[in-house]
Structure 1
Amino acid sequence: MSQLQPQTGLQQTAEEPLLNIQQMQFWLDKAVAWGQADNPDSQKDTCLHLSRLRDFLQQLLTRINSMSSTTETLKRLPFLGQFLGRLCWNPYVTADAMSRKLLFQCLWGLYSEHPCNAVERKANQWIQKVFCQLATEEDDATSHALIKHMGVPPKEYHLKVLRKMVVMLQENTGKSCSSFSNINQRCSCDSILAMSEACVPLVTCPEAAPLIGALLQKPMTCVRSTLSEDFLDALSSAYSSQCLSLEEQAEVSLWHHSLSSLEEAVLRLLECVPTNTGSGTQKLEQQLAQSLLPKACAQQYSMFLVVNDIFRSILKQAEGVEPVKCLIQSFTSCFLRELALQQHQARVSLKAWFPQSPQRLLVPLLTLPSEMPREAWRRHLNWLSSSLQRLTEEEEEGEDGESSSSTSLEGHYKVFEAWFLLVQCAHWVQVAAQLLVTSGPEDCDQLLWLLTFYHYPTTRGHQRALQLVRAKEAWDHLHSTFLVVLPPLPVEHLKSLITLLSPRSQQPSLSTLFILSLLVNFAVFSQQPLSGSTEIFQTVVDGSGLVDEAASLLSSLELKLNGGSCLSGDANRVHLRIKALQNTLTHAHSTKPCREPGTHTHTA
């Protein structure tokens, strides 16, 4: 690289405190020592100093802009030509977008549109040559400036250098480990750490993506193949700001290497959690379908354990928040589908995937309803309900007795883990709600207990026994109402349902979402003629003012049925009834409030 003039010394007046001689000499020595960064030591040192170099270039730019002319600048800073020229030949500096931008601005500050002497004319000629190197296809503004002001066409020199370097390093990355083949031969993994450090400034550079992917996916068969923490931190930061472009498997490998990146992926899913159950369920399902996370977890059970722990912590803080449950249910469903596709690989036992779950409940809950005959559903659910009841009774006995605190904590732990697994496998909760529609008073207790436990897993702030009484009361009203085929409708039962659902109710009651969910299932799955079901449904929903919530639950139920998590004997009939109920709610928005229960006719 030619330079503006040879280095004759560093000059600085007392009126110029922005830069000091020691600082300038330090960076000039660095630029000379780095050269063109063609050996691992200079590459590593360049990367380690890159952030500080950017700060210095910013100070230098401020100084250049404060000068009256190029002649004055070169008189005060005679080292400048050599310093900037050496940096322009260093691909590790020019590959960094911010450093390249600062270099361009420094050079542009030296360019004289109207050179008045030989020094400025010579400087202009040199700067034009350097601009050819710095201009890239990505820097359209830079290219246009060069063409307009100097008539120099932009070239891609440094990008070509970078691409060649990436190809060369990627080939080295793919070499097999030689640690154990020849004790006198240097292990090929020795360069992995240095190579990853060299990639720190390149993490957002698309040209470096193949090399970054190769480093992330290199099998860790040798203790020397460790990746740099700075490299992983830079990748994690770029991933968090969504400035990182990686292929699918490389992104999965990043999650494996970087816990913070994995946590960021889970948090992105949490951002998609619908604010109201059902209203955003379809969007969440689409987001999960596009996400690599379920597939990655199915490939590596250690990753699934981390994600599950994150969900576990969130659920402890948001026990009754239905949208959070919705995310966990949907994610687990996607994960189980991906896991089923991994059968050709070495299978890991279910206990390894769910080590904290009660093992007795694991297979029964993870089994999908579609994997067993419909006639076996009720017996299966009764067994699940009885098993969960025994767990909660053991916990309560431990709290009431004189057991040690450790025993009490163990009981809490078991019940929570059982509930967490039920939340993950909530397809059985939906089946229970569906079966309650056709249950009689003698066989509804176990199903109601299961649904009550799903909504109220602990006795903190509410007694489960009392909530079960309220659940039975709501079911009795629904059961009696939907048994009526001929008019008039049972006014007292309708009024009681509206009272239970009304936010103005002062009496302790089950969550409106629970009761409304029961109402939706009765309206959809009962044998009541559609006209009768629609009238009951509209009367109760309008009377309680829960039109939007009911519409959300209908939408959520429709998605679950489409996903096959629960099956009806007559799918077409069920979908037609859902559509009719949805149309009723749409019509309700454009009409006056409903009449008093019992003042309308009912057609069978």
Structure 2
Amino acid sequence: MRAPGTRYYREPTLARHRVEVRGRSVPCCRCKTARRGLGMAQVAPDGVLSLQCWLNKAAEWGQKTTLESQQDVCLHLPQLQDFLLQIYESLKHMRTHSAMERFPGIGQLLGRLCWNPFVVAHEGNRSALMSCLCCLYNSDPCSPLELKANSWIQDSICHLFTASGPGHQEVWKAVNQLGCSTVDYHGKLLKNTIISLVSKLKGCHSLDGNSNNRLSPQDVREISIKCIPIQTMPDVYPLVEALLMYHSSEPEEVLDELFIETVNRSVMRKKIVLSESAVLSLWLRHLPSLEKAVLDLFQRLIAVQSKSMSEMEHIIKDSFLPQASCHPSIFMIVDGILRKALLETDGNLKVTTIIRLFTRRFIQVYEKDNVQARYPLRAFFPHNSLAMVMALLRESQGLKPNISLQHLHGIIQKLREVDCDERSHKNLFNSWYLLIHFGDWVDVAAEQLLMSKTEISEDLLWLLAFYYNPCNDNQERIKTMDAAREVHDRMAMIRRNAVVCAVTLRGVFEEKKECNFGTTQLLRHLLVTFLLYSSEWHRVARDCISQMTQTQEAANEVSDVLARTVCRLNNKGMKNEKITKIALELLHNL
């Protein structure tokens, strides 16, 4: 947080204040006492002694309303400002708890000063008081005491926010005479102040209007600092939005960084309600805030169980990131973080599911309003051909089996062209990563492969092997295709024999235990798909799944396939109630 400005009017110092006694000019006795107290403060490195002196002074000022007392307040304003700035320099490097331990009574002092009209009327002291209060504000209160302290700080800053001008104390008297409570008065005054500042911030972007009423970049920065402790108050929302939407010609960011970080934290934790345009502006102007929002979303999704895909969808939808990703710059950052997570986890199943669900929600938002001007899809997927993106973008549900199979062959042809003609790890990865975004087509391919009564499709085998083994080092993909082909043939034989037995299915899988990790994942995928789409096997499906999920890893993989199936088929108007029901039952048992 920035220290408040120092361009303040300096009143005469204590040494210059003298009175006439018996014809001689001598220092005022009150000034002698004050100087003695301030002199003690110079000996104390931590400011404790001077804090006690000022606390006594503030208590004395609050008990008297005489002209002499008022003059005494005005006389001490420069020294008080220096003291508050020194305290601020210490507070800004400390946590709230540590500050209260090192400076006992600091809250009492600031509270008394905030409600002294002469102190508040002095611009330098008012600004210094705000800075000190901002330091004491706890953005993550963990106890009722901290919550209560935050509430008091917010009230005090709202009061300081609206208190200005040397005649402010006269306004208090008028308010009391009218019978209006100071709480009501300051609440209405705060709203009017917010309206005025919002109008000035918006006026900074217009060419016409009175330039004298416009705010300078320095003014805007100071306003953002003052908003830090009160940004979660509903009355302040319009000002926060106006600040986020404010743009100047300055080469550096005008808004205070702590203000941006605090607002971003409040947005992520749903402590503040802002418009979509304001949140988008926040993330576009401050990359670290966007990265924190993406990482926060990712961590929350990882913590959700694999079978709770509806909960994951809700978390993604509620994050506002899919909506913000309709801006290509936001999408590229989000997608880049997900890409890095996929690489670092070596294609982790949970990460691929997160990518798939996020993409699905993003596409829903992107296509929601066809009238609204939007960026072309090539801006979101610059590393892939537009034809491939459009092919994968087509909705898989609702298509007749023959049309779905035909479309799959078109997708596979485009992917194989990249695999053969542009053989490089970068191109292969980009194609594979794009396929993960639209992974529903992989599940459709598994269904088509197992349910087809015609000769086995090599294209479908290749797509499944490519998805689970994108790199073909040491001919791993060919081995994966051979293993999948053998399992397919065994499934076809089992179906023809019409013998329903869980032990038989377990034998099919146990024969392939020595396969690599990707191949094992594919085989589990095929077995679960076979159980779901073979109605005669539904009565032993539970036993089969139990035998397949003896380890946590296997349970997670099977849960993911089942949850993906439910998520994809659970659409209104689709005739998949039976498959969805058995998948939900199996998920519940897991």
**Fold match by TM threshold 0.5:** yes
Counterparts in 2 of 1:338 and 1:178: CA distance versus 1, 3 Å: closer
What's the counterpart of residue 521 of structure 2? 513
Structure 1 residues 483 and 246: CA distance shift in structure 2, 3 A: same
Q: Return the alpha-carbon distance in structure 2 between the equivalents of residues 56 and 135 of structure 1.
A: 20
In the TM superposition, what are the counterparts of 1:80-229 in structure 2 within 5 Å?
88-89=120-121, 92=127, 98=133, 134=156, 155=183, 162-175=190-203, 177-179=205-207, 186=211, 190-205=215-230, 206=233, 207-218=235-246, 220=247, 223=249, 228-229=253-254
Contact 1:392-1:415 within 8 A present in 2 as well: yes
CA contact (8 A) 1:296 1:303 kept: yes
For 2:356, give the aligned amino acid. Q
Structure 2 gap segments, 5+ residues each: 1-28, 52-72, 138-152, 160-180
What is the correspondence of 1:439-454 to structure 2 with a 5 Å cutoff? Answer: 439-440=452-453, 442-454=455-467
Q: Is the 8 A contact 1:204 1:238 kept in 2?
A: no
Q: What displacement does 1:281 show?
A: 1.8
Distance in structure 2 (CA, Å) of the matches to 1:524 and 1:60: 62
The equivalent of 2:564 in structure 1 is 556
**CA–CA separation in structure 1 for the residues paired with 2:99 and 2:517:** 71
The structure 2 residue matched to 1:365, chosen from 367, 392, 395, is 392
- Superposed CA deviations along residues 324-370 of structure 1, whole A, max 9, x for unmatched, are 11111111111111111232211322112221223331110111124
Give the 3-state SS of the residue equivalent to 1:273 in structure 2. Answer: helix
Report how far residue 426 of structure 1 moved: 1.0
Residues 229 and 369 of structure 1, relative CA distance in 2, 3 Å threshold: same
Extract unaligned runs of 5+ from structure 1.
37-44, 74-79, 103-130, 138-152, 397-410, 587-604
What's the offset of the Cα at 1:214?
A: 1.2
Q: Which residues in structure 2 correspond to 1:229-248 (within 5 Å)?
A: 229-240=254-265, 245-248=272-275
- Secondary structure of 2:203's counterpart equals coil
Structure 2 vs 1, CA of residues 237 and 215 (structure 1 numbering), >3 Å: closer, same or farther? closer
Partner of 1:271: 299
Q: Is the 8 A contact 2:307 2:587 kept in 1?
A: no
Give yes or no for contact 1:482–1:533 (8 Å, CA) kept in 2: no
Question: What is the CA-CA distance between 1:253 and the residue it aligns to?
Answer: 2.3
Structure 2 contact 506–548 (Cα < 8 Å) conserved: no
* CA distance in 1 between partners of 2:544 and 2:135 (Å): 69
Task: Name the SS for the 1:344 alignment partner.
Answer: coil
**Once structures 1 and 2 are overlaid, which stretch shifts more, 153-162 or 439-448?**
153-162
Structure 2: how far apart are the matches of 1:98 and 1:91?
Answer: 11
Match of 1:255 among 283, 287, 312: 283
1:293 is matched with 321
Question: Equivalent residue of 2:342, what SS?
Answer: helix
Please tell me whether residue 575 in structure 1 is matched to residue 588 in structure 2.
no
Kept after mapping to 2: 8 A contact 1:301/1:353:
yes
Cα distance in 1 for partners of 2:369, 2:76 equals 52
State the match for 2:344 in structure 1: 317
| Residues 537 and 383 (structure 1), Cα distance of their counterparts in 2 relative to 1, 3 Å cut | farther
- Contact map agreement 1:273 1:284 (CA 8 A) in 2: yes
SS at match of 1:437: helix
CA–CA distance in 2 between the matches of 1:462 and 1:197?
A: 63
| Structure 2 counterpart of 1:534 | 539
**Distance in 1, Cα, partners of 2:472 & 2:75:** 67
Letter in 2 for 1:52: E
In structure 1, the residue matched to 2:497 is 484
1:489-540: CA deviation from partner (whole Å, max 9, x where unpaired): 597664132343xxxx4454644332222111111123x52xx343366246
CA offsets 1:232-259 (integer angstroms, 9 cap, x no match): 4432245337676241322232112211
Q: Is the 8 A contact 1:236 1:261 kept in 2?
A: yes
State the AA in 1 paired with 2:341: I
Residue 18 (1) aligns with residue 45 (2): yes
Deviation for aligned residue 1:295: 1.4
Q: Which has the higher contact order (CA 8 A, sep 6+)?
A: 1
Aligned to 2:58: none
Which residue in 2 is equivalent to 1:497? 509
Alpha-carbon displacement from aligned partner over 1:122-170 (angstroms, at most 9, x marks no partner): xxxxxxxxx9x95999xxxxxxxxxxxxxxx995776665444322211
Pairwise CA distance, 1:18:
2.4
1:274 is displaced (CA, Å) by 4.1
TM-aligned CA distance change 1:60 to 1:253, over 3 Å? closer
User: Are the structure 2 counterparts of residues 193 and 462 from structure 1 closer, same or farther at C-alpha, using a change threshold of 3 Å?
Assistant: farther
Instruction: Return the TM-score normalized by structure 1.
Output: 0.67
Q: What's the counterpart of residue 148 of structure 1? A: none
Distance 1:88 1:543, change over 3 A: same
Instruction: Indicate the SS of the match to 2:354.
Output: helix
Residue 467 of structure 1: aligned partner: 480
Corresponding residue for 2:12? none
Which residue does the alignment assign to 2:403? 376
Q: Which residue of 1 aligns with 2:15?
A: none
1:143 is matched with none
Q: Is the 8 A contact 1:275 1:323 kept in 2?
A: no
Distance in 1 of aligned mates of 2:84 and 2:344:
42
Contact 1:274 1:281 in 2 (8 A): no
Identity over aligned pairs, percent: 20
